[in-house]
Amino acid sequence: MKFSNSLTVGLAIFAMLFGAGNVVFPLGLGRTVGDQVLYALLGLCISAILIPVIGLVASMLFDGNYKKFMGTMGAFPAAVITFVCMILIGPFGAIPRCLTLAHAVVRWYVPGCTAFWFSFLAVVFIFICTMRKSLLVELLGKVFGPLKLVLLFSIIIFGLFSPLKPVSVGFTALDSFLVGLREGFWMLDLLGTIFFSGLILEAVRRRAKDSKENLTARDIAMIGLKGGVIGGVLLGLVYTGFCFIAAMHGAQLVDIAQDQILSALAISILGSHAGILANITVVIACITTALALTAVFADYIRNGLFNGRISYLYALLITTVCTFVMANLGFAGIMKMIAPIVITCYPALVMLSLLNIANKLFGFKYIKVPVFGTLLITIFLNFR
């Protein structure tokens, strides 16, 4: 069992998960909490790293099959929740959110770039790259993942050399922790790891077959777990860097739109001529996540909704067309649409992930009551 397998999986997980929300929310968090950034980071790491890794482990225990994973709730609830989750991470939520953020930072330097044409070119590129789904994890792990890391850490490293210090904005430690915990949920990474695990397992098995390695189920699970830890550590490093540089430069970011903070920081940190680096970083981060999400949603349309009665390419076309339409609503418009759904479903999915691990490892069978109880409590607390 080679370490390179786990490393490739870890880089692929990082590349898949680090998209629009993973850029916007840590930067916005650092600007908001100021000198209480450490407490906010603690909350963010719980909701945006620990919980998604738990989801990855839980899903891989079900062989990366999200139908089996969700099925522990019962057939009908599983179908409904799966559909809702796919809407969130698919062309009505996370995918167009990636494109709108990429467009926002490109527009920083190219004001004449309209959302219509940017979205059109982006979905054409995504369609071409996801036509061969079997190569997607290799492409993300070996090309886009490392490239994204280099670009992101270039901004972070230069930003941390600043002599500025985070200023006090009146947040208490508890307030900052709770804000960080909440912001992590908006990234939707738990949904990503649950539904990406099948792609990851498929890539691990293909590599083992090509190298004639005889991997057991335990070996595959360990590769996935190690890859999840590697991906989580990389995400944590970037979140930490983003939160700190935004907190240190918060006074300069007061009137900057949330989806353009990174572009403004690049100019402040690296100078006006290096601002293009931020554009490249965000575009790559967003498009690579959109690639993975598009492949997952197209597969869901083909096999989950139409039971294989349509081709993968036709399902891919449906996905990209819907993404194009939704991307023209803008980042704020998309967030306004999906926020109530996220608030309602996310805690129940966290509970489901924990209980499914208990089910596989310890034979725990009482899953429905805690999950539906969590769902009802969440609805009552948020919509009373």
Give the pLDDT confidence of 302-339 residue by residue, as tens digits: 988 998 899 999 999 999 999 999 999 888 888 888 88
What is the C-alpha separation between 13 and 236, in angstroms, rounded? 13
Domain residue limits at 294? 3-330
**Could you give the percent of the chain with pLDDT greater than 90?**
29
> Domain of 182: which CATH number?
1.20.1740.10
Token pair listed for 46: 């719980």
User: Looking at per-residue confidence, does 266 or 191 come out higher?
Assistant: 191
Number of domains comprising the chain? 1
In a domain, 366, yes or no: no
Q: What is the mean pLDDT of residues 181-210?
A: 80
Say whether pLDDT at 66 is over 90: no
What is the C-alpha separation between 215 and 372, in angstroms, rounded? 37
In a domain, 40, yes or no: yes
Measured in degrees and rounded to the nearest 5, phi and psi for residue 191 equal -65, -40
In 3D space, the residue among 50, 55, 48 whose CA is nearest the CA of residue 26 turns out to be 48
Q: Is the dihedral of CA 159, 165, 169, 174 positive or negative?
A: positive
Say whether pLDDT at 63 is over 70: yes
Give the pLDDT of residue 226.
Answer: 81
pLDDT bucket at 143, cuts 50 / 70 / 90: low
pLDDT bucket at 228, cuts 50 / 70 / 90: confident
Angle between helices 217-248 and 3-17 (to 10 degrees): 50
In a domain, 113, yes or no: yes
SS3 content of the chain, % helix, strand, coil (to 5): 85, 0, 15
Give the pLDDT confidence of 152-181 residue by residue, as tens digits: 777 788 778 777 778 778 889 999 999 999
What's the whole-number average pLDDT of the chain? 83
Q: What is the mean pLDDT of residues 241-261?
A: 83
In a domain, 349, yes or no: no
3-state secondary structure of 253: coil
85-89, 257-261, 309-313, 321-325: least confident range: 257-261
In a domain, 147, yes or no: yes
Torsional class of 74: left (φ above 0), alpha (ψ -120 to 50), beta (otherwise)? left
Give the pLDDT of residue 145.
Answer: 62
Give the pLDDT of residue 188.
Answer: 86
In a domain, 383, yes or no: no
In 3D space, the residue among 82, 107, 110, 90 whose CA is nearest the CA of residue 292 turns out to be 90
Give the pLDDT of residue 136.
Answer: 56
In a domain, 81, yes or no: yes
